[in-house]
A and B are shown apart, each in its own frame.
Chain A
């Protein structure tokens, strides 16, 4: 399967997502409420992808592993430990901006 324009439909049907640490992939999956295993590869990745993956892992929203530990993770995972991911709040930004430009 080459590049599709949108994986949204596949995402909705999935029970488990295994992904690289790209922000878009992680956030979209978490927002759909799907369990996510993030596979990191520290040699290839940009540092900033790793930052987000580590933080999401620390907060208990994703499971993390690397390519060599993936099979082990799949065998021993307990997806019930994953915490739901609350959505971002762009309305807070809108309120802030309204104040800044004097639209209140």
Chain B
């Protein structure tokens, strides 16, 4: 059994739920982490899990909120501060959940969670596999989260061939959402 983490928010939620749609029940329990300012994501996740529990009776999942690490177009310096604050929140949460796998797809919220997981790995507490899937919107350039996590993730998945050329360490599986 693999404990799984998902970090996302907003429009990314639809994408990540599509990514999860074909995963077997071995990926359980599922822990969803999202920004505390996001209302719609919770409803979408519950609906997804509800449908899932109709097929798999032992489906387990949890929901956790963390402070949003960066607003759209927030300045660099203040982003560093808010991200550090988010790391303070996500570190104890990541420690508590001790995931085997972290799956994230782009929003700033995933950076502190991944950094927390890396720290736990470095400290020898728990080593998680970090899989990052760049959004389908990203055809030619990476998001800021993508640019950061390209260097820190174990597997970095892109959905368009141009990005595979520009970022050779990435994995291209075609369109997966």
Complex-state Cα separation, A92 to B19, whole angstroms: 9
Task: Tell whether A93 pairs with B137 under 8 Å between CB atoms, given A23-B11, A103-B26.
Answer: no
Complex-state Cα separation, A22 to B11, whole angstroms: 10
Contact indicator B19/A103 (Cβ below 8 Å): no
Interface segment, one of A12-20, A36-44, A66-74, A83-91:
A83-91
**In the complex, what residue of chain B is closest to A89 when comparing beta carbons?**
B176
Contact indicator A101/B100 (Cβ below 8 Å): yes
Binary CB contact string for chain A from 2 to 34 against chain B (1 if under 8 A, 0 otherwise): 000000000000000000001110010000000
Which of B129, B133, B177 has the most chain A CB atoms inside 10 A of its CB?
Answer: B177
**In the complex, what residue of chain B is closest to A21 when comparing beta carbons?**
B137
Complex-state Cα separation, A22 to B24, whole angstroms: 30
Q: Is B167 an interface residue (CB 8 A)?
A: no
Contact indicator B101/A101 (Cβ below 8 Å): yes
Binary CB contact string for chain A from 42 to 62 against chain B (1 if under 8 A, 0 otherwise): 000001110110110000000
Task: Tell whether A92 pairs with B129 under 8 Å between CB atoms, given A48-B138, A103-B24.
Answer: no
Interface segment, one of B83-91, B110-118, B139-147:
B139-147
**In the complex, what residue of chain A is closest to B103 when comparing beta carbons?**
A97
Interface residues of A in 74-104 (CB under 8 A from B): 86, 88-94, 96-98, 100-101, 103
Complex-state Cα separation, A29 to B164, whole angstroms: 27
* Size bracket, chain A contacts: 20 to 34
Chain A residues proximal to chain B, CB less than 8 Å: 22-24, 27, 47-49, 51-52, 54-55, 86, 88-94, 96-98, 100-101, 103
Chain B residues proximal to chain A, CB less than 8 Å: 2, 11, 14, 18-24, 26-27, 100-101, 103, 129, 131, 133, 135-141, 143, 154-155, 157, 160, 171, 173-177
Additional A-B contacts beyond A23-B137, A52-B137, A100-B131 (17; CB < 8 A): A22-B11, A47-B141, A48-B141, A51-B137, A51-B139, A54-B139, A88-B175, A89-B175, A90-B176, A93-B173, A94-B22, A94-B23, A96-B171, A98-B24, A101-B100, A101-B129, A103-B26
Q: Which 7 pairs of residues, A with B, have the shortest CB-CB distance?
A: A94-B22, A88-B175, A51-B139, A93-B176, A55-B139, A23-B137, A91-B22
Show 26 residue pairs from A and B whose CB-CB distance is below 8 angstroms, ordered by the A residue: A23-B136, A27-B136, A47-B141, A48-B135, A48-B141, A48-B143, A51-B137, A51-B141, A55-B139, A55-B140, A86-B175, A88-B136, A88-B176, A90-B18, A92-B176, A93-B157, A93-B173, A93-B176, A94-B23, A94-B24, A96-B155, A96-B157, A96-B171, A97-B27, A101-B101, A101-B129
